[in-house]
Structure 1
Amino acid sequence: MPLHPSSRVQKAREDLAGRLREIRKDAGITGRELAIRCRWSESKSSRIENAKTPPSDADIKAWCRACGADDQVPDLIAANRQSADAHVQWRQLQRTGLRRLQESAGDVYQQTGVFRVYVSDVIPGFLQTPGYATALLSTIANFRGTPDDVRDAVAARMRRNTVLSNGARRFSFVLEESVLRYRLCSVETMAAQLGHLLAVMDLQNVAVGIIPFSAQRNVWPMPTFTIFDDARVHADTLDAASTLTQPSQVELYARAFERQSRSAMRGAAARSLIATALASLD
């Protein structure tokens, strides 16, 4: 198997191979003994351990069974599946503009029943007005030098966000107070956005918590992430979009969300923070 053009993907593959090698060593068996137990060639064991050949789900199950490590199968299979697409370079995602990026997760949005969203940088996409989304996506397109299809991208985001009005789906948002203060658009656009945020808080299927600057933190502010049910996490960085599906990874982010939630104000107290941010626009 040639090296993957993305160093992140290649690193993920090598990490998986290393985990399988450690499982074999912990079991105290040689590569040859493993091959015998799995009923394949010794060279196949070597290729898998050295990230030369990507293992199939069946290979991972057989490997773990041979080593008495069946409890590690779910995490390893998830790691194997996400290694090819977990770390997708933003430039690759956005090479044809931003609209495609907005539409790429449409199926996931429709299939998810419970959304948990933590944001530390901007108003979450679910809650954005067209004006705010236009200002934000214009900045992104300019910064990354992508084709200017902001108008279509905003329309795609608004279509995607119709899931918010589906009462069968539940949404829980935790925002840092700083999100209410960052000036990414005009005063008028920001005022409309904060007003929209107040209106959304009236929806029965939406819960919004805001962590004030003055809160005593039990965890530090961290990069934005979204948890889809208990199945996957989308975590964004400056250079990549990560899709995490290993059960241990999802559990880690779920724990982070729960602890961030403890510091959040809700109801009238949260509305007061938004009102104060609105007043500061003057």
Structure 2
Amino acid sequence: MSTDYQQARLSLGVRLRELRAEGGLTGRQLADRLGWTQSKVSKLENGKQTPTIADLAAWAKGTGCPDATTELTGRLRGLETQYRSWRRQLAGGYRPVQEAHWAQARKTRCRRSFDPTLIPGLLQTADYARAVLTRYAAIHSAPRDIEAAVQARMGRQDILCDPTRAFHFLIWEGALRARPCSSAALSTQLDRLAPRLGPGNVRVGIIPFEADMHVPAGVGFSIHDDELVITETWHAEMWLDDPGDVALHMRAWEALNRNAVYGTDAHRLVTRAKRSLGA
């Protein structure tokens, strides 16, 4: 969890404690009033648990300050602008996540990204996307609306045809070899990728295994208009708009780009990956 996120959660907890004190309630009394455990009240006040919007509405009403609901909800949304746990995001299924990314894609004029383990979502075939989402769903407790999510992801790809937008993808060679799907689906996916290796508003560079790396590959991320970075871990997705965070990821992307190959050299890597499949 990022330090900035934790500090924001602690600040929200302090505000919750203030409201309880203003209502003249002990933690036990508030817990009893809301039908919660006292430990939940304590965790929320001490920044050890992220509240839901329903939690905040109940807190405001329970402390006799219902008008504070809007303020508390605003604080939570500001906090989650940066840090979005998969548990919370996927509570409504995978399609809403795809739609959130589609909304951001419509705002972005120039996108740079690095993917060390998978073909980027905007370049995926339906079969590849379906296999990836199905495998992620196996470890997340979420509604399995896989087909709806695949359709949403495929629908987003029309944006690549807009010549007023620029896309620059960097892909680690390992992503061409990894098999989150069947060999046949991966072979078709590599065929779909090949035409994108030429010039145009969509540019794809591949970082070979044998590259003398300027920086370690690290985790994947995307940079939107040099103003926003989206990256993720197993448990959360982070949307970072702090200029220092964006600048750091730009430096990492530029260092990775120095190791990337394009055109004919990139085609050789795709062909090499297909040969490993027996294709």
TM-score strictly above 0.5: yes
Q: Distance in 2 between matches of 1:8 and 1:252?
A: 16
Give deviations 1:7-58, integer Å, cap 9, x for gaps.
97751427999xxxxxxxxxxxxxxxxxxxxxxxxxxxxxxxxx9xxxxxxx
Alignment of 1:100-139 (within 5 A): 100-139=96-135
Per-residue deviation at 1:84? 3.8
1:131-280 equivalence runs, <5 A: 131-202=127-198, 204-280=200-276
* Regions of 4+ moved over 3 Å: 6-10, 14-17, 80-84
C-alpha distance in 2 between matches for 1:10 and 1:122? 27
| Percent identity for Structure 1 against Structure 2 | 34
Distance 2:190 2:133 in 1: 18
The answer to whether the Cα contact below 8 Å between 1:12 and 1:83 also exists between their aligned partners in 2 is: no
Structure 1 residues 160 and 153: CA distance shift in structure 2, 3 A: same
State the TM-score, normalizing by the size of structure 2.
0.73
Partner of 1:60: none
1:81 is displaced (CA, Å) by 8.4
* Secondary structure at the counterpart of residue 200 of structure 1: helix
The yes-or-no answer on 1:98 pairing with 2:89 is no
Contact persistence 1:211–1:265 (CA under 8 A): yes
TM-score of the two chains, using structure 1 as the length reference: 0.72
- Unaligned runs of 5+ residues in structure 2 are 13-46, 48-75
Q: Secondary structure at the match of 2:92?
A: coil
8 Å contact from structure 1 (residues 97, 148) kept in 2: yes
Classify the secondary structure of the residue corresponding to 2:138: helix
State the distance in 2 between where 1:12 and 1:100 align. Answer: 28
Q: 1:230-269, CA deviations, whole angstroms, 9 ceiling, x for partnerless residues?
A: 1100011111000000111111101110000001111100
CA root-mean-square deviation: 2.4
Structure 1, residues 175-229: CA drift from partner, whole Å, max 9, x if none?
1110000011111100100000002224611111111111101100110000001
Amino acid at match of 1:13: A
Instruction: Please give the alpha-carbon distance, in whole angstroms, between the structure 2 residues aligned to 1:161 and 1:231.
Output: 22
Q: Give 3-state SS (helix, strand or coil) of 1:151's partner.
A: helix
Q: For 2:229 and 2:276, how far apart are their aligned partners in 1?
A: 34
User: Secondary structure of 2:267's match?
Assistant: helix
Where does residue 68 of structure 2 map in the other structure?
A: none
Q: 1:10 to 1:216 in 2, by over 3 A?
A: closer
